[in-house]
Amino acid sequence: MKKKEMETILLNPIIVKRDAQQCIIIPKKIGNMLDKAYKIYEKDGKIILDPIKEEIHEREQWLLDPKNQHIIDQLNESFKEEKRIDFDEFKKTLKLK
């Protein structure tokens, strides 16, 4: 989206309403500039969408789940060793809960 279009949207807010499934539909003209994920919170009576920059590939997101902390610990221990790690062998040792 061009800077001029963005300024127009900011000066002339678009009104959106929840649908029957309690979803808010973002109009196409601003949808392309939006990020993929947001933290959402309320501040001073306003709903704030705070974009999250995803630097981790989607297929690795499971690793960040707190229930998988033991896997992170195993990886960190492996990285401390001076030998090379065979990833296929490491995968066999993972103890998924």
- Same-domain pairing of 33 and 68: no
CA 36 to chain centre: 7
| Shared domain check, 63 and 31 | no
Total structural domains in the chain?
A: 2
Return the closest-CA partner of residue 75 out of 65, 90, 97, 96: 90
Give the domain range for residue 32. Answer: 3-52
**φ, ψ at 57 (rounded to 5°):** -60, 145
Q: Are residues 7 and 39 in the same domain?
A: yes
pLDDT tens digits, residue range 39-94? 888 999 888 888 877 677 777 778 778 888 888 888 888 777 766 667 777 777 77
Is there a single domain that holds both residue 47 and residue 63? no
Q: pTM for this one?
A: 0.36
In Å, how far are 4, 37, 67 from 95, measured between CA atoms? 53, 29, 11
> Which of helix, strand or coil describes residue 11?
helix
- Are residues 16 and 47 both part of a single domain? yes
Same domain, 63 and 30: no
Both 29 and 45 in one domain: the answer is: yes
- Pair 39, 62 in one domain: no
Phi and psi at 87, nearest 5°, equal: -60, -40
